[in-house]
Chain A
Amino acid sequence: AQTVTQSQPEMSVQEAETVTLSCTYDTSESNYYLFWYKQPPSRQMILVIRQEAYKQQNATENRFSVNFQKAAKSFSLKISDSQLGDTAMYFCAFMKHSGGYQKVTFGIGTKLQVIP
């Protein structure tokens, strides 16, 4: 079974600064996806970024980028130029991608507070 660990329950960052959220996972699979989702106070789950395990290049989406270290099973999220609207819970997720399976495992989340 896969496990996903987010070791930072809460973090804070000054507006316009950079923050990195950590995520590690454990799996014996070679083919999988990794995701970061944002959950603001509205409770809506919003996709931040997606990474395919077979791709060496780290995914980026505007101010959001990841540091994907496959051998180390690490998938950290970097938020640059933090904005007040980035205040939210952030969840790391692992998706097994083989055959017909779509087993998904989430971490317990990191609560990020952006301070004005």
Chain B
Amino acid sequence: EAQVTQNPRYLITVTGKKLTVTCSQNMNHEYMSWYRQDPGLGLRQIYYSMNVEVTDKGDVPEGYKVSRKEKRNFPLILESPSPNQTSLYFCASSSRTSGPQSDTQYFGPGTRLTVL
């Protein structure tokens, strides 16, 4: 089954404790993105990756790091989480190849993060 998976689905942590949220896709997509969703603000793009070892900032990259060492994986790293990073996080992937689904993003189930 074609899918994007995220782990963990729920996480409660404390300020300053480094954490990683994993994202993996099995569709051989070139592009992957991370978003955060906050009430009244919709989804905002944090980082995206065009392929292995190629990443770029989205609209809200501060406080986050990413890496793309393998095509299927795109982890989101919070080196020193703060309470304002409490949010619902989504990973998404898409393909640049031509066709009716080109550039259509497929989303993971989301990770609910609470930073105390």
Contacts and interface: CB of A to CB of B under 8 A. Distances in A.
Nearest to A104: B45
B31 interface: yes
A105 B46 CA distance: 11
Given A102-B94, A104-B33, A106-B42, A44 B109 contact: yes
Contacts of B58: 103-104
A88 B59 CA distance: 25
Contacts of A114: none
A14 to B, nearest CB: 27
A50 B94 CA distance: 13
A47 B104 contact: yes
Nearest to B90: A45
A91 B43 contact: yes
B54 A106 contact: no
Contact of A107 (B42, B48, B105, B109): B42
A97 interface: yes
Contacts of A93: 43
Interface string B83-98: 0000010101010000
A44 B110 contact: yes
Contact of B43 (A97, A101, A102, A106): A106
A35 interface: yes
Nearest to A92: B42
A95 B103 contact: yes
A43 B9 CA distance: 12
What are the nearest 7 A-B pairs in CB distance?
Answer: A45-B107, A106-B42, A106-B43, A108-B42, A100-B50, A43-B110, A102-B31
26 contacts: A33-B104, A35-B104, A37-B107, A45-B90, A47-B104, A47-B105, A47-B106, A95-B103, A97-B103, A100-B54, A101-B56, A102-B31, A102-B33, A102-B94, A102-B103, A103-B45, A103-B48, A104-B33, A104-B48, A104-B58, A104-B105, A105-B45, A106-B42, A106-B44, A108-B41, A109-B42
